[in-house]
Amino acid sequence: MNRRTPTFSALRHARNAGDGGQQAARAAADALDPTSLRQTRPARLVANPAAARAAATRVLAVGAVSGTVTVSGDTITVLATVREHTAILSAIGVNTVQGTATATATVLYGGTTEGR
C-alpha cells in the first residue's frame, strides 16, 4: 500500500526533487542547437531537443531522481520525482515516500532577458 503522507521525509524528497530538476533544466539549457548559434541575432538561441533531454537525463540519473524532460524552443521543463522505500513507516502501511517538483530553464544569450 502506498499512501501519501505529509511527513518530513516527503518534504525533504520534494526539496531534493526540486534541486535535481533545477540542475537538470540548467544542464539542458546549455545544450544549444548549432544552427541557432550561427544566426546574425544570437538572442534567438534555442535548445537542441535531443541533446537537452540527454543532458537533463544524465543529471537526474546522477542524483537518483526520475523525471521527464520537455523542450520547447528556448524553454526546458523538467518534472522530477524522488521516491524512497520506508523502513519504519512501513509498519503502519506507508511503504514509500516521494517528492515531486517542476523546474524550468530558459536559454539566454549573455546574462540578460533583453528582447524577451
Q: What is the residue extent of each domain of the chain?
A: 8-106
Q: Which residue has the higher pLDDT, 1 or 59?
A: 59
Q: 3-state class of 50 per DSSP?
A: helix
Mean pLDDT, residues 67-85 taken together? 89
Per the CB < 8 A criterion, the answer to whether 83 and 96 are in contact is yes
Give the separation between CA 116 and CA 104, rounded to whole angstroms: 16
Q: Give the pLDDT confidence score for residue 3 in this predicted structure.
A: 45
Give the separation between CA 101 and CA 116, rounded to whole angstroms: 25
**This model's pTM is above 0.85:** no
Cell of 55: 543532458
Asked whether residue 107 carries a pLDDT value surpassing 90, the answer given is: no
**Burial letters for 14-43: b for 16+ Cβ neighbours within 10 Å, e otherwise?**
bebbbbbbbbbbbbbbebbbeebeeeeeee
Per the CB < 8 A criterion, the answer to whether 29 and 47 are in contact is yes
